[in-house]
C-alpha cells in the first residue's frame, strides 16, 4: 500500500452517518463542500460509498433495486460530505413514489449550493440508458460539474471496458463545460477506488495531492 492510499484510507474511515432526508431544506452540514452519487437503481452507489469510506455498512446496500429512497448524508473527517441518492429507472416502484423521488433528486441537485461534484454511475455491462442522458442534460443545464464512474467492471473484459469508455468519451463532447472525468471501478475488487478518493479529497481542499 502506498503512503497516499494509506493516508486516504485513514482520512475516509473517519466518517459518520448524519441522517436521511426527504426535504432538501432539512439537510444540514451546508458549511462543508459536498459530492453525491447518482445513477440507476442497483448500479452500485451505496456499495461504492462503502468502498471509498472503507466501511462495510455505512451506506445500506441491497440485491433488490430501489433500496435507497431518501437523500442520505455522510460526513467525512468533518471536511466533506458524501451523499447517497435514490436510484432511478426501477420499474417496480409505484409511479407515486417514483415521482416523489425524482422531485427530491432534482431539487437536491439544483438547490444544494455546497454541492461541488456529481458522480454519475453507469453499470459497465449495461452501458448508457435514456434516463442517464436525461440526467447529463439536467446537470449541464443546472451548471454543475460531473464525473462518470463505470461500475462493476469485475464482470467485464478489458476490451469491453475500453469500448464503453471510448463511446462515453465521444458522448461527453456534448458537455464540455460540465464533464470532468471517467473512472472505471469495482467496489468488490477495490479497483479505481483510490482515484475517486483522491478526487473527493481534492474537493475538500484547494490543492492537488
Of the residues 112, 116, 117, 152, which one makes contact with ligand GTP according to CB under 6 A: 152
**Shortest distance, position 163 Cβ to ligand GTP, whole Å:** 19
Among 15, 46, 105, 135, binds Mg ion (CB under 5 A): 46
Can residue 149 be called a binding residue for ligand GTP (CB under 6 A)? no
Which cell numbers in the block locate residue 163? 469500448
- 144: buried, middle or exposed (CB in 10 Å: 19+, 13-18, 0-12)? middle
Q: Are strands 15-21 and 179-184 parallel, antiparallel or unpaired?
A: unpaired
With contacts defined by CB under 6 A, name the span among 35-43, 94-102, 110-118, 199-207 that binds ligand GTP: 35-43
Q: Which of residues 41-70 bind ligand GTP (CB under 6 A)?
A: 41-47, 61-63, 65-68
Contacts (Cβ under 8 Å, ≥6 apart) of 199: 117, 147, 181, 183
Handedness of CA 185, 190, 193, 195 (dihedral sign): negative
Query: Which residues 71-100 are close enough to bind ligand GTP by CB under 6 A?
Result: 87
C-alpha cell belonging to residue 89: 429507472
Binding site for ligand GTP (CB under 6 A): 39, 41-47, 61-63, 65-68, 87, 151-152, 154-155, 186-188
Amino acid at each position: 500500500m502506498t503512503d497516499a492510499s494509506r493516508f486516504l484510507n485513514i482520512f475516509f474511515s473517519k466518517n459518520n452517518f448524519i441522517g436521511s432526508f426527504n426535504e432538501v431544506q432539512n439537510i444540514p452540514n451546508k458549511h462543508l463542500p459536498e459530492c453525491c452519487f447518482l445513477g440507476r437503481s442497483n448500479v452500485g452507489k451505496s456499495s461504492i460509498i462503502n468502498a471509498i469510506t472503507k466501511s462495510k455498512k455505512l451506506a445500506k446496500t441491497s440485491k433488490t433495486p430501489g433500496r435507497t429512497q431518501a437523500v442520505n448524508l455522510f460526513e467525512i473527517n468533518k471536511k466533506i460530505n458524501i451523499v447517497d441518492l435514490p436510484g432511478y429507472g426501477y420499474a417496480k416502484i409505484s409511479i407515486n413514489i417514483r415521482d416523489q423521488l425524482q422531485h427530491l433528486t432534482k431539487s437536491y441537485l439544483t438547490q444544494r449550493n455546497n454541492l461541488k461534484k456529481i458522480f454519475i454511475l453507469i453499470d459497465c455491462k449495461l452501458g448508457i440508458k435514456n434516463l442517464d442522458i436525461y440526467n447529463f442534460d439536467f446537470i449541464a443545464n443546472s451548471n454543475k460539474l460531473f464525473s462518470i464512474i463505470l461500475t462493476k467492471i469485475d464482470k467485464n473484459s478489458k476490451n469491453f471496458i475500453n469500448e464503453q469508455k471510448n463511446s462515453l468519451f465521444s458522448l461527453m463532447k456534448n458537455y464540455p463545460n460540465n464533464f470532468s472525468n471517467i473512472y472505471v471501478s469495482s467496489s468488490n475488487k477495490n479497483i479505481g477506488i483510490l482515484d475517486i478518493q483522491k478526487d473527493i479529497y481534492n474537493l475538500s481542499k484547494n490543492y492537488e495531492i
